[in-house]
Structure 1
Amino acid sequence: MHPGPEVHDGPIRRWYHALSQLQKWLVQGLAVLLAVGLVVVGFHLPGLLRHPYCADSGATTVKHVSGECIGVSDGSYVFAPELAGVEHAIRQENQMVTAQHPGEYVSVVVLLPISDSSGSIEAMSNVVEQLRGAYIAQYSANRKPVDGIVPAIQLLIGNDGYQANQWQAATRIIQDTQRRTRLAAVSGLGVSLSTTVAAADYLTGTAGIPVVGGTVTANEFDNIRDFIRVAPSNHDTIAVAVQYADSRQFKNAVLVQDENTSDAYDSTLVAGFEQFADSSHALVGRETFVSTPRTQATTDPQRVQADLMIRNRISQMPPDICTAQPAAVLFAGRGEDLAELVADLADRPCLNTPITIISGDDVTNLTFTPAVKRGLDTNVTVDYAGIANPGEWTAPSPDPATTAKGAQGFATFSGYAGQLFPGLPLSDGNTMTAYDSMLSAISAIRLTSQPQPTLQAVAGELGALHGSNEVLGASGPLDFYADYDTSKTGSDPDGKAIPILRLGTDGQSSVLTMEVPKSQVTGK
């Protein structure tokens, strides 16, 4: 090997030393730049690599939106592990439909706020129940005439996220789905929030898609053009609840109210229960709490903090309720918060005094815990105006003809439910109501007498669903007039009987009686 060049003192040596230093600095600088670059890339890598779609194939379009997967699935994309079983069944039915009826099928989206985050008003168990109900209607209508047998029905699952906060992204995906597929209607919606009202307005108005609501009960849904709902309005359910309170001869009550104005369910319950006070009845107390922070929360820690605040406020109410000595407590809030009140009443200072709570249908979202049972065991009774219940057709009713039709519709539903989900407990009305929502949409679609009807044709048949075209639902006969211009309740079912239920100490509800609001006029 040749020795390196001999460098003597002088200008050449100084030049060689400077060149060596420059080389050293360049290497060190490149190393630093490379390290910084790796840190930056590493920090942003998840965002750079994450595809904008959770899934995008065929009829399935699901996008990443604010940390959630929002959009529409034919069952090939599973929104939550708890939904895997029913989504798999829906996917199999959809595959049968597209394979055996390639030129004679349409799609219906069942839109729900699917979220496993704490504080979600729509519990995942309720989502499962509602998807089951929609699937039972799809499956039965593809085999048994429902105003005909054409077109066949493809069921798509729509998700607008936690508290339906991503309704804008979801409805635009549905609108785009309508352009690319054979969408004929949307059903479901899930919960009565301002976000859900906005979704219904956008779908029916801007997108021009007819919508059949399921468990949404807020009065804001009373008169939306090209929208009908199978559930009675809060106006009617609370009118029945007040009638029930009057029949029990309750002359005074304490009103417990959620002041969350963005929750349409709560605000309409408050307005309804205000009507209790008249010349022979009095509100002798009022207790308030606010669930707005929970509705507006965007992270789990925020939701946990909001829940703690709500529970703390409700825990302060029992002593004041005891002081007021009411005949009844009118609860205008969500089931999850009612659970807290029932649990806290177990430690009330007036344990020897019975407490009767009267509320609306969201009692079905109450999580039954040992603490709730303990409260009920201290002579606390929870009665509520519901939407549907399997026991309603064996309960006392003011109309035998309605009872007979209701029993017929429920028999069809329960027969298919038992076939598809052996041993399925039908403990409340979520599955029944989702079935009725989908069945009503299918009836409107089939009445068009078109193998692939236009959206306008389907919307035009919503007002035909009465008389000879009455829908025999699991929750009773359903009649719609869709008289949006001449009525303030054009979207509501006409003359629908409403069950009064009692929450038992085993967590199950039983039907006390069936009622129709005295103010409601049938055959309008």
Structure 2
Amino acid sequence: MSSISDAGLQIEPAPAYVRRRRRRWTALGALVAVLVATGLTFALRAPSRLTDASDAFDPSLADIMERIHAENDNVIAKHPGEYVTILLLLPMSGDVTETGMGFDTIRHALQGSHLAQLWRNREQSAAPYIRLLVGNISSDAWEDTVTDLEGRVRSERILAVTGLGNSVEATRRVIDRLSKSKIAMVAAVITSDELQRHEALVRMAPLNSDEAAALVRFAGQAVPALKPVVVMDTKPGDSYSRTLGEAYDKTLARVVDAKRRGRPLTFDSTVNASSTVIGNIADTICGSDANAVFYAGRARGLPALLRGLSLSRPCAQRDISVFAGDDTSEQAHLVQSPIWEDNGGRIRLYYTALAHSANVTDHGSRVLPAIKARFGNGDEKGYVRLFPTESLDDGHAIMHHDAVYVAIKAIDRYAKDDLARLGPQEVAAMLRSGTIDVQGAGGDITIDRDGNPLRREIPVLRLTPYGATVFAAWSSPEPAGAARQ
């Protein structure tokens, strides 16, 4: 019988057991080491979020992504030391309710960007040649994409970012992050007045305040004795709708007497059955003496408003015009059933476009013949030959072409310097230097000191109930000869 003092003693194990236990721990340690190493290797080899893979996004984008991939392979194979990379950032989810960009719009954006890449790379002495990569900045992906971008600037030879989507919260966050690193950004279609004056950002599209001013000037000519009412989406985080609505209010207050202006009407597109609210708004408008509606919201809300106006007897019996911003281009595709009943042309929809096919197809437009050739069918690398079933009417192919084109022109200013020493910060400085003046597909492009384009005229289009666009007029946001402050 052992004593209490012996209870705490441990019996020395047999030598064979010690050896077996040591072997177990050694094997376990080796297994842990393998798992850790494998995990680290997996992390280090995680697929890049910057891609040109044809299957990276929606199947409807596979063809254009494959074309980009093929051109990139050609550049790397033939000019391994003479290429730089431009990164196209877009909300690749195709969720119109979140981003305002459906897959048709995204596809056109990719096509226009690729067109600029192709034509640059076919030029004689084209160095630096252009490689194009694509990144997703949808709300659930933008942060990882930007982190990947920041870690690959040098290894991928990234000199500029283009695209950047619409004026929504995710876009603002991307711009804020990249501005801190002074990475050159050329936004193709951002129009919000709030998304400006970032140190590394320039924009191709006019401000919403300019669009509103141009549209009000056009409305004053198109609608006798203008009696307007503003309808605005109050969706949180949608800078486009908010700043456009504010611009309508301010502009109309300057040119229309308060007695002829209706009280503003609002809806929230994020609530269930928001179309019911829009229908009530249409009834309210038709019960007033308003003859013009200035709509500040995304295109998806327009059908409910237009149907409500056309089905109301008072509006159906009198002329009423709806004026909207550039996001209306999301509705610019042919449909078999009419979006609304136009009642013999009494219900009309006009909108400010960022660009239109007339820019590159009309003989009388001021766009350079060489740029028109990029979009025609006279060359095997012309847009019509490359994408014969596509339309230019939403303007996105043109605007994204010009964004890449401007980035290339800024890079070219350093072409004689050592490309190995050139980074996106230098390109950003050139873009914001006040020296960028380019004749693009959307017209002459001059970037002011705030990074905004000086646009003398903005195209106004009419959208038919079947989704066709008709050019209406060019309209200036300012009286002829007025100087912009």
**1:317 equivalent in structure 2:** 281
Specify the code of the residue in structure 2 equivalent to 1:506: Y
Tell me, yes or no, if structure 1 residue 331 matches structure 2 residue 331: no
**1:209 equivalent in structure 2:** 183
Tell me, yes or no, if structure 1 residue 390 matches structure 2 residue 366: no
Distance 1:523 1:266, change over 3 A: closer
Aligned to 1:454, which of 423, 447, 450? Answer: 423
- CA distance in structure 2 between the partners assigned to 1:51 and 1:81 by the alignment: 32
- CA distance in structure 2 between the partners assigned to 1:373 and 1:209 by the alignment: 42
**2:445 equivalent in structure 1:** 478
Aligned to 1:75, which of 45, 48, 53? Answer: 53
Aligned to 2:137, which of 160, 163, 166? Answer: 160
DSSP 3-state at the match of 2:97: coil
Distance 1:53 1:271, change over 3 A: farther
**1:271 equivalent in structure 2:** 246
The CA deviation at 1:173 is 1.5
Q: Deviations over 1:344-375 (max 9, x none)?
A: 22311312112200111011012765664333
With normalisation by structure 1, the TM-score equals 0.76
Question: Structure 2: 5+ residue runs without aligned partners?
Answer: 1-38
- CA distance in structure 1 between the partners assigned to 2:440 and 2:390 by the alignment: 18
Q: Deviations over 1:199-225 (max 9, x none)?
A: 1121122x3210000011111223111
- CA distance in structure 2 between the partners assigned to 1:523 and 1:313 by the alignment: 39
Specify the code of the residue in structure 2 equivalent to 1:123: G
**1:11 equivalent in structure 2:** none
- CA distance in structure 2 between the partners assigned to 1:289 and 1:52 by the alignment: 51
**2:331 equivalent in structure 1:** 366
Q: Deviations over 1:273-317 (max 9, x none)?
A: 1021246433213221012x3xxxxxxxxxxxx4x4211211222
**2:459 equivalent in structure 1:** 499
- CA distance in structure 1 between the partners assigned to 2:40 and 2:349 by the alignment: 48
Aligned to 2:106, which of 109, 124, 127? Answer: 127
Is the contact between residue 259 and residue 288 of structure 1 (CA under 8 Å) also seen in structure 2?
Answer: yes
**2:116 equivalent in structure 1:** 137
With normalisation by structure 2, the TM-score equals 0.82
Aligned to 1:184, which of 154, 159, 170? Answer: 159
The CA deviation at 1:339 is 2.0
- CA distance in structure 2 between the partners assigned to 1:370 and 1:348 by the alignment: 23
Distance 1:136 1:118, change over 3 A: closer
Q: Deviations over 1:477-497 (max 9, x none)?
A: 11114x2xxxxxx11112342
Aligned to 1:232, which of 206, 214, 228? Answer: 206
DSSP 3-state at the match of 1:404: coil
- CA distance in structure 1 between the partners assigned to 2:354 and 2:484 by the alignment: 21
**1:16 equivalent in structure 2:** none
Tell me, yes or no, if structure 1 residue 109 matches structure 2 residue 87: yes
Q: Deviations over 1:382-408 (max 9, x none)?
A: 011111001146889xxx9xx424665
Aligned to 1:410, which of 372, 382, 385? Answer: 372
Specify the code of the residue in structure 1 equivalent to 2:426: A
Is the contact between residue 253 and residue 330 of structure 1 (CA under 8 Å) also seen in structure 2?
Answer: yes
DSSP 3-state at the match of 2:313: coil
The CA deviation at 1:472 is 1.8
DSSP 3-state at the match of 2:303: helix
Distance 1:131 1:118, change over 3 A: closer
Specify the code of the residue in structure 1 equivalent to 2:192: A
DSSP 3-state at the match of 1:506: coil
- CA distance in structure 1 between the partners assigned to 2:43 and 2:244 by the alignment: 38
**1:298 equivalent in structure 2:** none
Distance 1:462 1:321, change over 3 A: same
Distance 1:315 1:56, change over 3 A: farther
- CA distance in structure 2 between the partners assigned to 1:153 and 1:464 by the alignment: 23
**2:77 equivalent in structure 1:** 99
Distance 1:497 1:407, change over 3 A: farther
Is the contact between residue 75 and residue 156 of structure 1 (CA under 8 Å) also seen in structure 2?
Answer: no
Specify the code of the residue in structure 2 equivalent to 1:251: L
Aligned to 1:86, which of 48, 59, 64? Answer: 64
DSSP 3-state at the match of 2:294: strand
Specify the code of the residue in structure 2 equivalent to 1:361: D
- CA distance in structure 1 between the partners assigned to 2:137 and 2:357 by the alignment: 29
- CA distance in structure 2 between the partners assigned to 1:175 and 1:191 by the alignment: 22
The CA deviation at 1:117 is 4.3
Question: Structure 1: 5+ residue runs without aligned partners?
Answer: 1-49, 62-70, 294-305, 484-489
The CA deviation at 1:53 is 8.8
DSSP 3-state at the match of 1:180: coil
- CA distance in structure 2 between the partners assigned to 1:345 and 1:184 by the alignment: 49
- CA distance in structure 2 between the partners assigned to 1:172 and 1:243 by the alignment: 44
Distance 1:280 1:342, change over 3 A: closer
Is the contact between residue 142 and residue 153 of structure 1 (CA under 8 Å) also seen in structure 2?
Answer: yes
Specify the code of the residue in structure 1 equivalent to 2:135: G
Specify the code of the residue in structure 2 equivalent to 1:460: A
Specify the code of the residue in structure 1 equivalent to 2:428: A
- CA distance in structure 1 between the partners assigned to 2:361 and 2:140 by the alignment: 39
DSSP 3-state at the match of 2:76: helix
**2:408 equivalent in structure 1:** 442
- CA distance in structure 1 between the partners assigned to 2:411 and 2:393 by the alignment: 30
Is the contact between residue 232 and residue 387 of structure 1 (CA under 8 Å) also seen in structure 2?
Answer: yes
Distance 1:408 1:381, change over 3 A: farther
The CA deviation at 1:169 is 2.0
Coordinate RMSD, CA, aligned: 2.8
The CA deviation at 1:245 is 1.6
Is the contact between residue 192 and residue 216 of structure 1 (CA under 8 Å) also seen in structure 2?
Answer: yes
Is the contact between residue 94 and residue 101 of structure 2 (CA under 8 Å) also seen in structure 1?
Answer: no
Q: Deviations over 1:27-53 (max 9, x none)?
A: xxxxxxxxxxxxxxxxxxxxxxx9999
Is the contact between residue 86 and residue 128 of structure 1 (CA under 8 Å) also seen in structure 2?
Answer: yes
**1:68 equivalent in structure 2:** none
Distance 1:201 1:117, change over 3 A: closer
